[in-house]
């Protein structure tokens, strides 16, 4: 059974992020902007509630968080589509040495597979959310064991049920390593936030490459790549300006 090495995963993810960061930082910024359209938070209302009693604070939080049905739905659907696209870019960067062949080709997708991805993401969120409500630990457990469901449905043309089965098998025997990797991801995100806005977006790129690197390491029959030894030797430094 293959054991995930966190240090090696972080090292390769860092090298890939340094090599391909421009396109991925751009998409990270766009995703962040879309998330602001889904839910808006009145920071002044939150600050004003800090001195209140717990019940008043909960009411203040509820009133401070606002959701626009039309704008929120549009932004949510765009964010899901964009995450599908970006997952494929990350996998191409890892497997082929460059994220895309042409700018127009970035946004092409299989509609049927996109639908499977959407419902898989939804089911994954519900399972983890319900597990978290049940004393948190079940949410962490299911979150890790089903971690690769979105990536499988987005990039490997895997069906809904097969994605859950394959993720469960891939993570078997590596729960603690994946938990440590998740904690490491949180640490990287915190460091990125401390390094101003650009650092946060670059940290997001590292975290996503960590997910992809671990995914292909744990995949039972990883697809052949176009490089001989490692993804960093696949091409010369790749920066495309369209």
Q: Are 98 and 238 in contact (CB under 8 A)?
A: yes
Comparing CA positions, the residue from 107, 113, 172, 112 lying closest to residue 144 is: 172
Residue with more model confidence, 156 or 63 = 156
Cα 137 to the center of its chain, rounded Å: 21
Given this model, what pLDDT does residue 105 score? 85
User: pTM here?
Assistant: 0.81
**Mean pLDDT, rounded, for 84-100:** 95
Residue with more model confidence, 133 or 66 = 133
* Tens digit of each residue's pLDDT (9 = 90 or more) over 4-38: 999 999 999 999 999 999 999 999 999 888 887 77
> How many residues comprise the chain?
242
How high does pLDDT run on average in the chain? 84
Comparing CA positions, the residue from 40, 61, 66, 62 lying closest to residue 50 is: 61
- pLDDT of 176 > 90? The answer is yes
State the helix-helix crossing angle for 196-218 and 175-194, rounded to 10 degrees: 160
Given this model, what pLDDT does residue 70 score? 83
Q: How many CA atoms lie within 13 A of 218 on its CB side?
A: 28
- pLDDT of 45 > 80? The answer is no
Give the span between the Cα atoms of 45 and 9, in whole angstroms.
42
Instruction: Dig out the tokens for 64 from the structure.
Output: 């401070």
Give the angle subtended at the CA of 199 by the CAs of 40 and 31, to the nearest 5°.
40
Phi-psi region of 222 (alpha: psi -120 to 50; beta: other; left: phi over 0): beta
- pLDDT of 51 > 80? The answer is no
Determine whether 36 is exposed, middle or buried from the number of CB atoms within 10 Å of its CB (0-12, 13-18, 19+).
exposed
- pLDDT of 200 > 60? The answer is yes
Instruction: Dig out the tokens for 196 from the structure.
Output: 């101003």
Residue with more model confidence, 65 or 147 = 147
Q: Are 84 and 117 in contact (CB under 8 A)?
A: yes
Given this model, what pLDDT does residue 96 score? 92
Place of tokens 């895997």: 158
Give the span between the Cα atoms of 37 and 68, in whole angstroms.
8
- pLDDT of 177 > 80? The answer is yes
- pLDDT of 63 > 80? The answer is no
Give the span between the Cα atoms of 213 and 90, in whole angstroms.
10
Q: Are 143 and 128 in contact (CB under 8 A)?
A: yes
Given this model, what pLDDT does residue 41 score? 60
Residue with more model confidence, 199 or 176 = 176
Residue with more model confidence, 226 or 49 = 49
* Tens digit of each residue's pLDDT (9 = 90 or more) over 207-219: 999 999 999 999 9
- pLDDT of 46 > 80? The answer is no
- pLDDT of 224 > 90? The answer is no
So where are the chain's domains? 6-221
């Amino acid at each position: 059974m293959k054991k995930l090495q966190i240090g090696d995963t972080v090292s390769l993810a860092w090298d890939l992020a340094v090599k391909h960061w421009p396109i991925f930082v751009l998409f990270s910024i766009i995703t962040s902007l879309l998330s602001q359209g889904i839910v808006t938070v009145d920071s002044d209302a939150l600050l004003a509630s800090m001195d209140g009693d717990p019940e008043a604070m909960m009411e203040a939080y509820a009133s401070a968080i606002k959701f626009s049905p039309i704008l929120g739905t549009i932004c949510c659907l765009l964010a899901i589509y964009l995450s599908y696209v970006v997952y494929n870019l990350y996998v191409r960067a890892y497997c082929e040495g460059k994220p895309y062949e042409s700018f127009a080709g970035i946004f092409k997708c299989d509609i049927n597979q996109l639908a499977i991805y959407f419902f898989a993401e939804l089911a994954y969120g519900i399972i983890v959310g319900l597990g978290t409500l049940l004393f948190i630990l079940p949410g962490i457990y299911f979150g890790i064991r089903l971690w690769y469901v979105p990536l499988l449905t987005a990039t490997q043309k895997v069906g809904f049920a097969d994605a859950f089965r394959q993720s469960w098998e891939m993570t078997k025997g590596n729960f603690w390593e994946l938990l440590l990797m998740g904690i490491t991801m949180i640490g990287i995100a915190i460091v990125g936030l401390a390094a101003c806005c650009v650092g946060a977006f670059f940290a997001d790129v590292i975290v996503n490459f960590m997910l992809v690197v671990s995914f292909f390491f744990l995949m039972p029959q990883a697809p052949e790549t176009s490089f001989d030894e490692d993804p960093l030797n696949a091409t010369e430094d790749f920066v495309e300006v369209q």
